[in-house]
Chain A
Amino acid sequence: MNRLGAVPLALLWALPLLLSLALLVPTALDGAAWALALAHPQLWPALALSLATGGLSTLIALAISLLLLGGLPRSRVWHRLQGVAAAGLAIPHLAFAIGFAFLIMPSGLIARLLIGGDAPPQWVSVQDPWGVALTLALALKEVPFLLTAGFAVLSRGDAAVRIKAEAQAAASLGHAPGSAFLRIVLPPLLRELRWPLVIVFVYGATVVDMALVLGPTQPPTLAVVIWHALNNAEAGVNAMGLAMTLLLTAALALILAGVALILRLGRQAMHRLLTAGPSPLQTPRLLAALAGLVTVLTVSFALFILVLLSLAPRWPYPALLPPAVDLSAWASVPPATLWLSLLLSLAAAAVAVASAVLWFETHGARHDRWAIALALAALALPQLASAGGQYKLLLPLGLTGTLFGLFLAHLTPVAAYVLIVLAGPYRAFDRRYVAAARALAASKLSAWRRVKLPLLKAPLLTATAIGFAVSIAQFVPAQLIAAGRFSTLPMEAVTLASGGNRPLTAAFALALAVPPLLAFLAAALLGRPRWR
């Protein structure tokens, strides 16, 4: 009975995923592919760029997020920030990249404001060879994700009370708020943020769409090299791309293992710092406010610019506003496509959360490592590769071009994200609350429904919203599996983006941003604790 709880997750997600990955093995053992990959002149510099942009953007995003979580008082600001973070989370990466690029590029808004003149300055502000623009954009875009994950931990009913009491205890022992945050709140918080951080790192090191807009070009990041190779019509070049994919994945795994090792070795030193005694370290409120302001302003400006871009067929330098606006780009968003995307994503998110909860409820935390390892594998492999395996699996089953196949394609990454996001809060739940409810003569189901569910309301809703947002942005697997029989929003958006029509791309990017935005706002509103 207990074991059956794993069935939905296994059947709909794990099994297809494992089989898909297995189907990639023959290509991975292809010697010719590896020879081509290793002879590629851009391989090593591109790999270094990928790892550097992914790693640095993760560290910057973490620093900003912690600054905001620790530096701002747990006040109204803090709670308002939750809504802003949800909004930032909803903006698709590509959309943010386009808006951000138009902010900083030589003919962008900042140059128009500061420089003007006939011709734009020759700034090296986007597509710089060092990947600075890409790193910054990635960092800013990931802050909302880390913040949301952090809020989910800190504002969870049982944890919030405990953290508050512990902070009081720390203060009574002579620790200023900054010191209390670093020594009491941060260690458990980081523990629960480790998987979101891994996701952010892996995402940053493998992202393609943002790198195409903002990243360096000669060499580009390895993900871009792979993307071109996998897009090639030649089977041999595709195989080279797969070999590079495996290399990138191995490099990421190696780095993560290295970080884990350093953290383990550094444990002693870390605990010495934790217990060095009371410290007058204040929370850097000014810096936090500044970081918050910069993040919020950049993200909202990027969004605002995107709205303008979607309305402006032409916006020549150095005009501060487009000379003319029209709605033609918006008129081309087809309603049928919108509905299909909404329903598919809602279904994928709901099924993913339900299967994950069923898994958590029927299996102990020690089994999580396998589920999470699989989820990370699903997210760490560039989608062109993993989706290729999935396609090879579904093709002989006759599931390509079917709605169910399309649903499975959406579920794969959604379930992975949901598992990772939910594992922390779900496993950290204080089981005594359920025990207390059972002691009050509640049945197992009733205790879950009346005590655990309300207390885990916020993380569950957030996970659903994240799942929804991930699903609605799915392009590669959907494109492969749909076989042209169905059309979703990102399929329309990405194909139009390939033509470089900026108003249309902006309009579709915004159309992609709105549904998840509503989902996150709904999650934030419904997930609010009854009182603070």
Chain B
Amino acid sequence: MALRLETVSVNLEGHPLIAPFSLAVAPGEIVTLMGASGSGKSTLLSFIAGDLESPFTAAGNVRLDGVTLDGLPPEKRRIGRLFQDDLLFPHLTVAENLLFGMPRGPRRERLAKAEAALAEAELSGFGERPPNTLSGGQRARVALMRALVAEPHAMLLDEPFNKLDAALRQTMRSFVFEHIAARRIPCLMVTHDQGDVPASGRLLLLKDAMVTDA
């Protein structure tokens, strides 16, 4: 599993937000793209995920596992995402949220997987709870597990720790990074917070529409 961006660029009504650049993210690697707010980081993620909306346009090629994603709808790309909000579906229970994205199969196995994921997130027994009864940290962990049990081939993180308090943020970072690394998923994270950058990870800077190695 590997994620490759080939001469990808992002434009807003003809003005370049991100000049063409290329990037390869290896399995289990977490690459961080840092830039100021409004610099086009999130738009880049939308392009990779396949739901870029006007007035933004983008060019270039995205390959996942060697296959180009050009023209594929978002749901076929097998790219998991974490957003600034946890976006747990409020009408589904915690376990149902996990089942939502899990590949189809015998119900018993799927339930077991959901239970295992909850255990992994130290949330055993929370399956039947409605999401709004969980704390912010618990919800964030469910959101990650929900993305992971969908078995993505790459992950995009869009300032996922932004809304967590400082103490929680640190534990959450390591929780997320460990799980992504353990599953050997290539991961691209955008943030403007220096503290989000994992110790061993690669860091790119987006400034004046140019992507450069830090």
Chain A contact residues, CB within 8 Å of chain B: 165-166, 168-177, 179-180, 183-184, 187-188, 191, 271-272, 274-280
Shortest Cβ gap from B87 to chain A (Å): 4
Q: Quick one: which of B103-117 are within 8 Å of A by CB?
A: 103-105, 107, 110
Question: Does B75 contact A175, Cβ atoms closer than 8 Å?
Answer: yes
Please give, as numbers and ranges, the residues of chain B lying within 8 Å of A279 by CB-CB distance: 104
Q: A168-B74, A169-B87, A172-B79 are in contact. Are A277 and B104 (CB under 8 A)?
A: yes
In the complex, A255 Cα to B147 Cα: how many Å? 42
Question: Does A277 contact B105, Cβ atoms closer than 8 Å?
Answer: yes
Q: A172-B49, A173-B147 are in contact. Are A165 and B101 (CB under 8 A)?
A: no
Shortest Cβ gap from A31 to chain B (Å): 49
In the complex, A168 Cα to B152 Cα: how many Å? 15
Chain B contact residues, CB within 8 Å of chain A: 49-51, 73-76, 78-81, 83, 85, 87, 89-93, 96, 99-105, 107, 110, 146-147, 150, 152, 156
Question: Does B104 contact A175, Cβ atoms closer than 8 Å?
Answer: no
Question: Does B96 contact A172, Cβ atoms closer than 8 Å?
Answer: no
In the complex, A450 Cα to B136 Cα: how many Å? 29
Question: Does A272 contact B73, Cβ atoms closer than 8 Å?
Answer: no
Question: Does B89 contact A176, Cβ atoms closer than 8 Å?
Answer: no
Question: Does A176 contact B73, Cβ atoms closer than 8 Å?
Answer: yes
Q: Which of B49, B110, B150 contacts A168 (CB 8 A)?
A: B49
In the complex, A170 Cα to B80 Cα: how many Å? 10
5 A-B pairs whose Cβ atoms sit less than 8 Å apart in the complex: A168-B74, A172-B74, A177-B75, A276-B104, A277-B105
Question: Does A274 contact B75, Cβ atoms closer than 8 Å?
Answer: no
Please give, as numbers and ranges, the residues of chain A lying within 8 Å of B101 by CB-CB distance: 170, 172-175, 277-278
Question: Does A275 contact B100, Cβ atoms closer than 8 Å?
Answer: yes
Question: Does B147 contact A172, Cβ atoms closer than 8 Å?
Answer: yes
Q: A172-B80, A173-B147 are in contact. Are A271 and B92 (CB under 8 A)?
A: yes
In the complex, A168 Cα to B50 Cα: how many Å? 10
Closest to B73 in A: A176
Known: A166-B87, A171-B49. 18 other contacts (CB 8 A): A165-B87, A168-B51, A170-B101, A171-B50, A171-B74, A172-B101, A173-B101, A173-B150, A175-B75, A184-B89, A271-B93, A274-B96, A275-B92, A275-B99, A275-B100, A277-B100, A278-B102, A280-B75
Please give, as numbers and ranges, the residues of chain B lying within 8 Å of A275 by CB-CB distance: 92, 96, 99-100
In the complex, A279 Cα to B104 Cα: how many Å? 8
Please give, as numbers and ranges, the residues of chain A lying within 8 Å of B51 by CB-CB distance: 168, 171
Shortest Cβ gap from B160 to chain A (Å): 12
Shortest Cβ gap from B115 to chain A (Å): 14
Q: Which of B81, B107, B156 contacts A272 (CB 8 A)?
A: B107
* 4 A-B pairs closest in CB distance: A173-B101, A171-B74, A275-B99, A277-B104
Question: Does B104 contact A169, Cβ atoms closer than 8 Å?
Answer: no
Q: A171-B73, A172-B79, A173-B146 are in contact. Are A188 and B90 (CB under 8 A)?
A: yes
Please give, as numbers and ranges, the residues of chain A lying within 8 Å of B110 by CB-CB distance: 277
Please give, as numbers and ranges, the residues of chain B lying within 8 Å of A272 by CB-CB distance: 107
Please give, as numbers and ranges, the residues of chain A lying within 8 Å of B81 by CB-CB distance: 168-169, 172
Q: Which of B49, B75, B147, B156 contacts A278 (CB 8 A)?
A: B75
Question: Does A174 contact B73, Cβ atoms closer than 8 Å?
Answer: no
Q: Tell me which of A166, A171, A172, A274 has the highest count of chain B C-beta atoms within 10 A of its own C-beta.
A: A172
Please give, as numbers and ranges, the residues of chain A lying within 8 Å of B99 by CB-CB distance: 275-277
How many CB-defined contacts (below 8 Å) exist between A and B?
Answer: 92
In the complex, A173 Cα to B150 Cα: how many Å? 6
Shortest Cβ gap from A121 to chain B (Å): 48
Please give, as numbers and ranges, the residues of chain B lying within 8 Å of A176 by CB-CB distance: 73, 75-76
In the complex, A274 Cα to B76 Cα: how many Å? 19
Please give, as numbers and ranges, the residues of chain B lying within 8 Å of A278 by CB-CB distance: 75, 101-104, 150
Q: Which of A172, A179, A274, A276 contacts B92 (CB 8 A)?
A: A274
Question: Does A170 contact B100, Cβ atoms closer than 8 Å?
Answer: yes
In the complex, A174 Cα to B96 Cα: how many Å? 15
Shortest Cβ gap from B157 to chain A (Å): 11
Question: Does B102 contact A277, Cβ atoms closer than 8 Å?
Answer: yes
Q: Which of A166, A172, A276 contacts B89 (CB 8 A)?
A: A166
Please give, as numbers and ranges, the residues of chain B lying within 8 Å of A169 by CB-CB distance: 81, 83, 87
Q: Tell me which of B75, B104, B147, B152 has the highest count of chain A C-beta atoms within 10 A of its own C-beta.
A: B75
Please give, as numbers and ranges, the residues of chain B lying within 8 Å of A277 by CB-CB distance: 99-105, 110
Question: Does A165 contact B75, Cβ atoms closer than 8 Å?
Answer: no
Please give, as numbers and ranges, the residues of chain A lying within 8 Å of B50 by CB-CB distance: 171
Q: Which of A165, A177, A276 contacts B83 (CB 8 A)?
A: A165
Shortest Cβ gap from A79 to chain B (Å): 14
Please give, as numbers and ranges, the residues of chain A lying within 8 Å of B74 by CB-CB distance: 168, 171-172
Closest to A173 in B: B101
Closest to A172 in B: B81
Please give, as numbers and ranges, the residues of chain A lying within 8 Å of B92 by CB-CB distance: 271, 274-275
In the complex, A124 Cα to B146 Cα: how many Å? 56
Shortest Cβ gap from B181 to chain A (Å): 20
Shortest Cβ gap from B200 to chain A (Å): 25
Q: Tell me which of A166, A188, A272 has the highest count of chain B C-beta atoms within 10 A of its own C-beta.
A: A166
Please give, as numbers and ranges, the residues of chain A lying within 8 Å of B96 by CB-CB distance: 271, 274-275
Please give, as numbers and ranges, the residues of chain A lying within 8 Å of B107 by CB-CB distance: 272
Please give, as numbers and ranges, the residues of chain A lying within 8 Å of B147 by CB-CB distance: 172-173
In the complex, A271 Cα to B100 Cα: how many Å? 10
Please give, as numbers and ranges, the residues of chain B lying within 8 Å of A280 by CB-CB distance: 75-76
In the complex, A104 Cα to B116 Cα: how many Å? 61
In the complex, A278 Cα to B99 Cα: how many Å? 9
Question: Does A174 contact B75, Cβ atoms closer than 8 Å?
Answer: yes
Shortest Cβ gap from A153 to chain B (Å): 13
In the complex, A166 Cα to B152 Cα: how many Å? 18
Q: Tell me which of A275, A276, A277 has the highest count of chain B C-beta atoms within 10 A of its own C-beta.
A: A275
Closest to A184 in B: B89
Closest to B99 in A: A275
In the complex, A280 Cα to B72 Cα: how many Å? 12
In the complex, A183 Cα to B156 Cα: how many Å? 23
Question: Does B100 contact A183, Cβ atoms closer than 8 Å?
Answer: yes
Closest to B150 in A: A173
In the complex, A477 Cα to B99 Cα: how many Å? 54
Shortest Cβ gap from A278 to chain B (Å): 6
Shortest Cβ gap from A462 to chain B (Å): 24
Please give, as numbers and ranges, the residues of chain B lying within 8 Å of A168 by CB-CB distance: 49, 51, 74, 81, 83
Please give, as numbers and ranges, the residues of chain A lying within 8 Å of B75 by CB-CB distance: 170-177, 179-180, 278, 280
